[in-house]
Structure 1
Amino acid sequence: MLDIDGVLLDQSFDNLFWGELVPLELSTVQNISIENAKNEIYNTAEKVKGTMPWYELKFWENKYNLDLVNVALNNSAEIAFLPRAEETLKILADLDKRIILMTNCDRRLLNVKASVVPFMKYVDGCVSCVEIGAVKESQDFWGPAFEIFNIDTEKSLFADDNINVVNSAIQAGIFNSFQVLEPTSDGSLINKPNSNFTIKNIGELI
């Protein structure tokens, strides 16, 4: 089981999307300065961080009257695999390993990413927290996710760049859960090791 952003795909796109592109769109729609728009997005994000609204596009679209799918589509050239990610997916698929994607990414944004980067062709299934109705940081996510894909936790491993999600997965019974330390290709973000199982990237799983 794998996370997508920061594990398969370069987290730089999401950082750009939420840090620059969404505020830019908000500044245009509401005719406010980019600085004020960034502050508005940041302040709202701090209030909902780690909860369902944080990940749901419709929350942000309804709150600020934005079309975030269109914003993503207009900047989709920035979406890319992380180094070694596609290579690893190919190897796992050739070894007939079952690959399930567990993501907090909203399915509508995920569809934009999948239209640009062909990661879905290697996997056997994918589920978003929005479809489950609970974020991966919550234990309420894992039971339904395991049931959908008939997951045997003792025979599974999981990789995610978010340490809170890694800890949640361990609590749910996936004891072979790995924290990914390098979620961006340019090194702009390096996660501090906070797990007994850490890898720089998923290529180290092979």
Structure 2
Amino acid sequence: MIPWHKIDTVLLDMDGTLLDLHFDNAFWMEHVPAQYAQYHGIDHFQAIELLTKKMQKKQGQLQWYCLDYWSEVTSLPIAELKRDLEHKIRFRPHVPDFLQAVKDAGKRSVIVTNAHRGSVDIKMHKTGLDALVDRIISSHDYGYAKEDQHFWQHLLDDEGFDLERSVLIDDSVPVLESAKRFGIQHLLCITQPDSQKPERRVEGYASIDHFSDVMPAAKPSVDEDN
């Protein structure tokens, strides 16, 4: 599924790929509407309806992922509220082992996420994920979401990776489509981003559920080469 002998750089989404998307879904679909309803003195279902409309207008744009933007829109301390549910932040199956295998295979691992740096910091503190990869890049660093071609151009200029010798693993089909248009050769989709929701059927892309299915082999040692 991944021709590891042709791969130098492993680009990895964070939420729904390395980390269980259940945290984010529970936060945005349950916790934020509840807090919004309480703060503004409205019905819970009214809060869901209002927030859904606001979010749909920004879907796929950088603001969709921006904690500062939603703090302003909702009048709620979004980053602080995330800590209420941080016990739900957890790795998807076999992720630490996979990242160690990528390192042992001599590949560069770079997290490319649409998550705001405020969210990234909370998740790094909870999981220690930053110690398992070479670099973490947020789309907010470049000013463009991953759905935008400008993001990939900034990433290419920044990282200097080879489009034909890189793989992107992501749970978002729109993001994979954007990366494909840009020319990234190897693409892989996650079928069950949220552990509390059914596995999805993904059309048009190779897909996996667990990282144990695509573990790279360790790079041969000098003695083995000889």
Q: TM-score, normalised by structure 2?
A: 0.87
Counterpart of 2:54 in structure 1: which amino acid?
T
Which contiguous aligned blocks of 4+ residues in structure 1 show a shift greater than 3 angstroms? none
Distance 1:19 1:196 in 2: 27
Deviations 1:89-109 (A, max 9, x none): 121122232100111111111
Is 2:19–2:92's contact at 8 Å kept on the other side of the alignment? yes
Q: Is 1:13 aligned with 2:26?
A: no
What stretches of structure 2 of length at least 5 have no aligned partner? 1-10, 216-226
State the distance in 2 between where 1:40 and 1:136 align: 26
* Structure 2 counterpart of 1:110, from 120, 123, 129: 120
**1:80-91 alignment runs, 5 A limit:** 80-91=90-101
- Partners in 2 of 1:123 and 1:138 — Cα distance? 24
- Give 3-state SS (helix, strand or coil) of 1:148's partner: helix
Partner of 2:212: 203
CA RMSD of aligned residues (A): 1.3
Correspondence 1:184 to 2:191: no
Larger Rg: 2
Q: For residues 201 and 159 of structure 1, what CA distance do their matches in structure 2 show?
A: 12
Match of 1:54 in 2: 64
In the alignment, is the contact (CA less than 8 A) between 2:111 and 2:135 conserved in 1?
Answer: yes
In 1: Cα distance, 2:130 partner to 2:212 partner: 18
Count of residues in correspondence between the two structures: 205
The alignment partner of 2:200 has SS state of: coil
Note if 1:155 corresponds to 2:165: yes
CA–CA distance in structure 2, aligned partners of residues 159 and 20 of structure 1: 27
Q: Which of residues 155, 162, 174 in structure 2 aligns to 1:145? A: 155
The aligned counterpart of 1:101 is: 111
Of 166, 170, 175, the match for 2:180? 170
Question: Residues of 1 paired with 2:186 and 2:13: CA distance?
Answer: 14
2:79 maps to 1:76: no
1:194 aligns with 203
Show structure 1 runs of 5+ residues with no match. none
Pairwise CA distance, 1:8: 0.4
Q: Quick one: percent identity of the two aligned structures?
A: 28
Q: Deviations over 1:12-54 (max 9, x none)?
A: 0110010011111211221222211111111111111111111
| DSSP-derived class of the 2:24 partner | helix
Q: 1:147-198, CA deviations, whole angstroms, 9 ceiling, x for partnerless residues?
A: 2112111111110010111111111111101111111223x04332122322
Q: Structure 1: how far apart are the matches of 2:80 and 2:156? A: 32
Choose between structure 1 and 2 for higher RCO, CA contacts under 8 A separated by at least 6 residues: 2
